[in-house]
Amino acid sequence: MPIINSSKTAATAAVLTAVILGSTACSYSSKDTTPKVNSVTPTGTFAGSYYEKNSITDKEGKYWIPLKPAAASIGYRMKDDTSSGGYTKLGYSDVMYMLRPDSSQVFSLGEKITLPDVPIRREGQIYITPNSLSKLLQTEVGWNPSTGEINIAAPSDRDTTANTGAGEAAKPLRIQSVSNVDTGELIAYAKKYLGVPYDFGAGPYEETKRFDCSSFTRHVFKKFGVDLPRLAKDQDNIGRRISRSELEPGDLIFFTVPGRFESDAIPGHVGIYMGGGSFIHTWGDPGVQISDLDSGYWSNVILHMQRVL
């Protein structure tokens, strides 16, 4: 990706001036408004590159891009609940990042962090600076205002010993009585929710009457005294790893999302093994459902199997 050095030549400065004046309506000051250009060019198979036509440059010279197409370029979905007082949520089947316009405080992979530039809402879209996007996603972001090229390196796998943030040890399970957990009852309880709608980034079931994959497993296990983390990638760090031949009802099964991350070792989906080669999970339509583990799509994307009971 070409990187501009605005101080080198008058020709380059002219190009940048044209870019600034051609941006969507903004007010500009008479001082130098040359956008600051990122000097890092993300590279590699999992870098997402696209051209943004709706970028803006403000009077301070900051470059802003719409958040939704930026997230989509690396395969993330976005759900904007800010109009009703909620968060804008990004991720795959799990919510991995949450933010609100006009607030610098965001949640990134379970951590609360502060962005250098506060996201804004403009003409119905949420805009963010590449620097803030880089911090939110904890990855490299490159951009070129003259061409509109945005290049985002897919977030890489983090320390798998962490549960809610870098440097934190995995929290121990809080189990009321392992010996009293009847996996048959657990499966029967999970099946009561068959057909409950799937909702990306679903809030607590008691409030929303919906689940996403990891909120479903968390809800079911909580009934039996097991407090699982909210995200699938963190649930994968609880208990002990087992093989397919060891799989028993009540075990968790984690699935990869090929090409989603720099490492395919990051879970993108989770379900509960029922026995007989079937597992229960929630995904798209019709929501909570039973699927075959040993044939079809899911058999090809199994990542790990974990015993937490």
Q: For the whole model, what pTM was predicted?
A: 0.64
Looking at the structure, tell me whether residues 15 and 135 fall in a common domain: yes
CATH number at residue 210: 3.90.1720.10
Looking at the fold, whether 68 and 118 belong to one and the same domain comes out as yes
pLDDT at 161: 35
What is the CA 229 to chain-centroid distance, rounded? 15
Same domain, yes or no, for 99 and 34? yes
What does pLDDT average to over the chain? Answer: 79
**Tens digits of residue pLDDT in 85-137:** 889 999 876 788 999 999 999 998 778 899 999 999 998 999 999 999 999 99
> By the 8 A CB rule, do 144 and 37 touch?
yes
Catalytic residue list: 213, 269, 281
Inside any domain, residue 168: no
Q: What is the CATH number of the domain that holds 122?
A: 3.30.457.10
Q: How big, in percent rounded to 5, are the helix, strand and coil portions of the chain? A: 20, 25, 50
Instruction: Please state the domain count of the chain.
Output: 2
Distance CA 307, CA 249 (A): 10
| Residue 158 in this model has a pLDDT that exceeds 50 | no
Residue 166 lies in a domain: no
Asked if residue 187 and residue 131 are part of one domain, the reply reads: no
153, 168, 198 — which closes off a domain?
153
What is the model's pLDDT at position 261?
Answer: 56
Residues 104 and 198 in one domain: no
If asked whether residues 15 and 143 sit together in one domain, one would say: yes
Is position 198 within any domain? yes
Give the per-residue pLDDT at 38. Answer: 54
220 and 279 co-located in one domain: yes
The verdict on 264 and 210 lying in the same domain is: yes
Residues 95 and 198 in one domain: no
Per-residue model confidence (pLDDT) at position 102: 93
**Does 206 share its domain with 146?**
no
Q: Which amino acid is at 260?
A: R
CA angle, 118 as apex, 113 and 122 as ends, to 5°?
Answer: 140
The answer as to whether 167 is a domain residue is no
Whether residue 11 is predicted with pLDDT greater than 70 in this model: the reply is no
pLDDT reported for residue 41: 60
- Asked if residue 3 belongs to a domain, the reply is no
Residue 140 burial (C-beta neighbours within 10 Å; 0-12, 13-18, 19+): buried
97 DSSP assignment: E
Amino acid code (one letter) for 11: A
How far is CA 18 from each of CA 25, 47, 144, 150, 201, rounded to the nearest angstrom?
13, 28, 14, 19, 41
Contact 52, 130 (CB under 8 A): no
Query: What residues contact 30, with CB distance under 8 A and at least 6 apart?
Result: none
Q: Do 149 and 19 belong together in one domain?
A: yes
Question: How would you classify residue 253: left for phi > 0, otherwise alpha for psi between -120 and 50, otherwise beta?
Answer: beta
Q: Which domain holds residue 293?
A: 178-307
Q: What is the pLDDT of residues 260-274, one digit of tens each?
A: 555 567 788 999 999
- H or E element in which residue 177 lies: none
Determine, yes or no, domain membership for 245: yes
Of 283, 261, 286, 285, the C-alpha closest to 271 is 283
Confidence of residue 3 (pLDDT cuts 50, 70, 90): very low
DSSP 187-250: HHHHHTTTTPPB-TT---HHHHS-B-HHHHHHHHHHTTT----SSHHHHTTSSEE--GGG--TT
Query: Domain for residue 182, yes or no?
Result: yes
Q: Is residue 1 part of a domain?
A: no
Q: Phi then psi for 10, rounded to 5 degrees?
A: -65, -35
User: Are residues 100 and 275 in contact, defined by beta-carbon separation less than 8 angstroms?
Assistant: no
At 305 the pLDDT is: 95
List CB contacts of 182: < 8 A, sequence separation 6 or more. Answer: none
pLDDT at 276 over 80: yes
Specify whether 135 is located in the same domain as 25: yes
120 DSSP β-pair partners: 127
